[in-house]
């Protein structure tokens, strides 16, 4: 026997119509059983939910290597901040920036970013510079020195 030779009545199975009275055999509780979370309307439990128990992904300790612990982080400062806080001819170093409260922590060093305009001639000493900041500092007549 082949599928195409089946009588028309067997080709499609009628869908289950639940909650349509006792005669259907699927009335009253609509095949959901008695009470409980799954019997309620709108109930959907995620596959990883373990009934309020601490889930497996939180019980198992974290393992493996992660490089974020050894990441080099730099305190960043923009040229607009340097222009606001320093006078013409000043020497800007990470220590001076920390003393004046412009940066809170030095972290692994200071990186100067090129946001804003620099109108004063400054000698800026830092661990890193963006390419835009170097060109703007030199155009203003200053120097960008890598420590």
Considering the domain boundaries, does residue 21 fall inside one?
Answer: no
Considering the domain boundaries, does residue 111 fall inside one?
Answer: yes
Considering the domain boundaries, does residue 113 fall inside one?
Answer: yes
Considering the domain boundaries, does residue 109 fall inside one?
Answer: yes
What is the number of domains present in the chain?
1
Considering the domain boundaries, does residue 50 fall inside one?
Answer: no
Which residue, 99, 104, 102, 95, is CA-closest to 73?
Answer: 104
- Per residue in 52-73, pLDDT (tens digit) is 899 998 999 988 888 888 999 9
Per-residue confidence band for 10, with pLDDT thresholds at 50, 70 and 90: low
Considering the domain boundaries, does residue 40 fall inside one?
Answer: no
Assess contact for 84 and 101: CB atoms under 8 A. no
Considering the domain boundaries, does residue 94 fall inside one?
Answer: yes
Q: Which domain holds residue 96?
A: 72-146
pLDDT of 43: 83
Average pLDDT over residues 24-43: 88
pLDDT of 9: 67
Per-residue confidence band for 112, with pLDDT thresholds at 50, 70 and 90: very high
Give the CATH number for residue 88: 3.100.10.10
Q: How many helices (H) and strands (E) does the chain have?
A: 4, 6
Average pLDDT over residues 100-125: 90
Considering the domain boundaries, does residue 23 fall inside one?
Answer: no
101-104 long-range Cβ contacts below 8 angstroms, 24+ apart: 102/77, 103/75, 103/77, 104/75
């Amino acid at each position: 026997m082949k599928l195409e030779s089946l009588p028309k009545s067997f080709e499609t199975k009628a869908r289950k119509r639940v909650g349509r009275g006792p005669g259907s055999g699927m009335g009253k509780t609509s095949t959901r059983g008695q009470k409980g979370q799954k019997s309620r309307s709108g109930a959907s439990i995620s596959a990883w939910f373990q009934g309020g128990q601490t889930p497996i992904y939180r019980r198992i300790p974290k393992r493996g290597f992660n490089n974020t612990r050894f990441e080099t982080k730099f305190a960043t400062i923009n040229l607009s901040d340097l222009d606001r806080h320093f006078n013409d001819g000043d020497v800007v170093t990470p220590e001076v920036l920390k003393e004046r409260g412009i940066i809170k922590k030095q972290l692994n060093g200071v990186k100067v970013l090129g946001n804003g305009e620099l109108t004063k001639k400054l000698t800026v000493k830092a661990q890193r510079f963006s390419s835009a900041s170097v060109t703007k500092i030199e155009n203003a007549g200053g120097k960008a020195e890598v420590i």
